[in-house]
Structure 1
């Protein structure tokens, strides 16, 4: 299943929010590890690097509470980008905006890793993950020329206490 634009969307336009349950790290880790590989759901981890060196983490699971944003597919060459937006709360809303002009009928997608459109001039080459990590990852079917072969994967959600020492 894919989501497509019903009408043209100009670059920079707000498209939708990626909504869901906001989780703490332990619950995000528990749910990620309990999920079967064939399940289509994706818990997103957003890490914001602050000017003082701290990192703010937000984990959002759209399984039980969500909106149309949960149906957006990943692409290694997306036409949307995500921005954490705060309104009267430290918990951000995950807003998706058009990264380019989008034609009516075009599939809407974003890079689950947040890499695309967030690092100007950054290399789009991907390092090959370890074989043991590949067994836990979901394959990427975006078909772009820079496809990484696997969906972005947050290894911290799958770390065991012994492996994180």
Structure 2
């Protein structure tokens, strides 16, 4: 299997902007349609970004880099990432997904972020933990090699009805930002 990834060409200081995770911004229905059309081995990841608003509402943004994207689509997951994703708004309610250096990064080091949106292996939510314990969802193994590796890539079942998670072979979705 061939692995893609991105390495820093020069040292990157903590807090520096690295790149945007760019792609098509999708509505829920289109994100669901596209993710259901993917095979388990497909390398494309639609990121689901959830932001909690001050009035208690939840704002969801789905970004698919498959057809329109940039170098951000080649960044790999790590349970001990050196990048952190931050939704940033510039003249729009639709966030741009900016990746910043979470630590000082050396030249030649692979750039990576946690697909779940957590940082430095913050414990998973109760739903994520339950799904992984029950084995009710198809999970892709994590190969990050970190000391605190969770063994599987983060999985977001929000685009699948509960009944589908039992029978579908679904790719993971990065993102609870």
| TM-score between both structures, scaled by the size of structure 2 | 0.83
> Aligned residue for 1:132?
136
Secondary structure at the residue paired with 1:145? coil
Distance (whole Å) between structure 1 residues aligned to residue 107 and residue 100 of structure 2: 16
Taking a change above 3 Å as real, the CA distance of residues 160 and 30 of structure 1, as seen in their structure-2 partners, is farther
In 2, are the aligned partners of 1:20 and 1:64 still within 8 Å (CA)? yes
Q: Give the alignment partner of residue 145 of structure 1, picking from 144, 147, 156.
A: 147
Which piece of structure 1 moves more, 153-162 or 58-67?
Answer: 153-162
- 1:115 and 2:90 correspond: no
> Aligned residue for 2:5?
2
Q: Give the alignment partner of residue 13 of structure 1, picking from 12, 16, 21.
A: 16
Q: Give the alignment partner of residue 70 of structure 1, picking from 73, 78, 96.
A: 73
Unaligned runs of 5+ in 1: none
Unaligned runs of 5+ in 2: 166-177
Secondary structure at the residue paired with 1:132? coil
Q: Give the alignment partner of residue 42 of structure 1, picking from 42, 45, 70.
A: 45
RMSD between superposed Cα atoms in Å: 2.2
| TM-score between both structures, scaled by the size of structure 1 | 0.88
- 1:29 and 2:32 correspond: yes
Secondary structure at the residue paired with 2:7? coil
CA deviation map 1:50-73 (0-9, x unaligned) = 121111100000000000000000
In 2, are the aligned partners of 1:14 and 1:98 still within 8 Å (CA)? yes
Per the TM alignment, residue 107 of structure 1 is displaced from its structure 2 partner at its CA by 0.4
Per the TM alignment, residue 157 of structure 1 is displaced from its structure 2 partner at its CA by 1.2
In 2, are the aligned partners of 1:58 and 1:91 still within 8 Å (CA)? yes
Distance (whole Å) between structure 1 residues aligned to residue 5 and residue 26 of structure 2: 26
Per the TM alignment, residue 162 of structure 1 is displaced from its structure 2 partner at its CA by 8.7
Taking a change above 3 Å as real, the CA distance of residues 51 and 73 of structure 1, as seen in their structure-2 partners, is same
Distance (whole Å) between structure 1 residues aligned to residue 150 and residue 73 of structure 2: 21
Aligned length: 158
Q: Which consecutive aligned stretches of 4+ in structure 1 deviate over 2 angstroms post-superposition?
A: 122-128, 160-163
In 2, are the aligned partners of 1:124 and 1:146 still within 8 Å (CA)? no
